[in-house]
Amino acid sequence: MRVLFSLNHPAHYHMFKRLVKMLQEDGHETEYVICNKDVLEDLLKSDGVPYIKLQQRRHRKSSALSVMINGVVDMLEKDWLLMKYVGHHRPDIMIGTDLCIGHVGLLKHIPSLFFNEDDYEINKAACLLSYPFVSGVVSPDVCNVGRSFERKKIPYRGYQKLAYIHPKYFTADYQLVRKYIGDVDTYYILRLVSLTAGHDISGKHQGIDNDLLDRLITLLESRGKVLISSERPLAEKYQKYQLNAPASCMHHLMQFATLFIADSQSMCFEAGLMGVPYIRFNDFVGKISVLNQVENEYQLGYGVRTCDAAKLLQLADDLTCTPNLKEQWRQKKERLFQDKIDVNLFWKWLIENYPQSRKNLQDYKE
């Protein structure tokens, strides 16, 4: 079987790389296809992984309207490039997080499985541009793919991030952590992002500003080391807290943290799956099914809206004063793992036996 993986984000390479290795070990031919994604390409190069790059023109982004127009142009251009590629190198199935696999798959009569764990209402534009065209939507059972597309949903009892966060696939290295933070037992990571990803483009969702950051540092600094990881430029007064470590070390650093506070969805989710207490501070609280389950059913983290900074500070105070905090969260994490499947094994079974597997999901056994 020839399996094409079309990627549009570095995180999705991490998500699929164990699956790709498993398929290769079973004798299947696999290939990665990317477009102009500098960080993703650098990651593939650093891992020595072969890939196909579909070269697109770069567009200047000057306004919200031009960003939208350029996005449509980019999608159509990539549709065309991918269609030409699969015309000469036809795969048996296309896998990915890229909208274009559905368009090309439909035109070329190639099955396409779109992987997503965002709810329909959170990322409606991407869903409407992909779901009508793909063969199936591979999504956690708790996710809402929209009533119109429920028939395309291929549910599983897990989360995408378990493909690389599960202890079976990831072991944190404390010696590596010490290299960047020194010999410190208690440290807190504050993660600041610019909320501009697909479901953040409205600009209405605020995060941790400098005033709140100052108050968090004052609260935490007397109890441990404060580390700031930031996508946005930091003022000079915060430079001494800045975490200067490569992105490849971030999960190792997160694993041994006492508390993780962020305005990032994704990294809070990862922290919770690692058994690290987190506080998520943004306006998506209560709107994302996978995080609702992690926070409400497994109680591995807390979501706080940006109108309630006082609650964020109170939670940070309470958690850093909680005895046996790490052991409590370890037990919660173990309960989650007992409830979830090995997603890599399920995905492998699904792909190798497609389309029969889709019709007989009840037959899957680990």
Residue 152: per-residue pLDDT: 97
The CA-atom distances, in angstroms, between 194 and each of 43, 200, 203, 227, 231 are: 22, 9, 10, 18, 6
Q: What is the mean pLDDT of the chain?
A: 92
pLDDT in tens, 277-318: 999 999 999 999 999 999 999 999 999 999 999 999 999 999
pLDDT of residue 193: 85
What average pLDDT does the segment 261-270 reach? 94
Output the pTM of the full model.
0.91
Q: For the CA atoms of the chain, what is the radius of gyration?
A: 21
| pLDDT of 202 higher than 80 | no
Q: Is the pLDDT of residue 140 over 60?
A: yes
**Quick check: 61 pLDDT over 60?**
no
How high is the pLDDT of residue 190? 98
Give pLDDT tens digits for 219-234. 999 999 999 999 889 9
Mutual angle of helices 10-25 and 38-46, in 10-degree steps: 40
In this predicted structure, the answer to whether residue 137 has a pLDDT above a threshold of 50 is yes
Closest CA to 241 of 264, 278, 213: 213
CA-based nearest residue to 22, from 157, 164, 148, 218: 164
Asked whether residue 351 carries a pLDDT value surpassing 70, the answer given is yes
Higher pLDDT, 215 or 55: 215
Select from 158, 178, 350 the least CA-distant residue to 269: 158
Q: Is the pLDDT of residue 198 over 50?
A: no
- Delineate the domains of the chain, giving CATH numbers in brackets: 2-158+341-360 (3.40.50.2000), 174-339 (3.40.50.2000)
- Does the pLDDT value for residue 205 go beyond 70? no
151 neighbors 137 (Cβ within 8 angstroms) = no
pLDDT value for 219: 98
First to last CA, the chain: 22
* pLDDT tens-digit series, residues 144-192: 999 999 999 999 999 999 999 999 999 999 999 999 999 999 999 999 9
Which stretch of 8-22, 50-64, 239-253, 276-290 has the lowest confidence by average pLDDT?
50-64
Do you find a cis peptide bond into 167, omega within 30 degrees of 0?
no
Nearest CA among 340, 351, 279 for reference residue 313? 279
- pLDDT at position 262 is 96
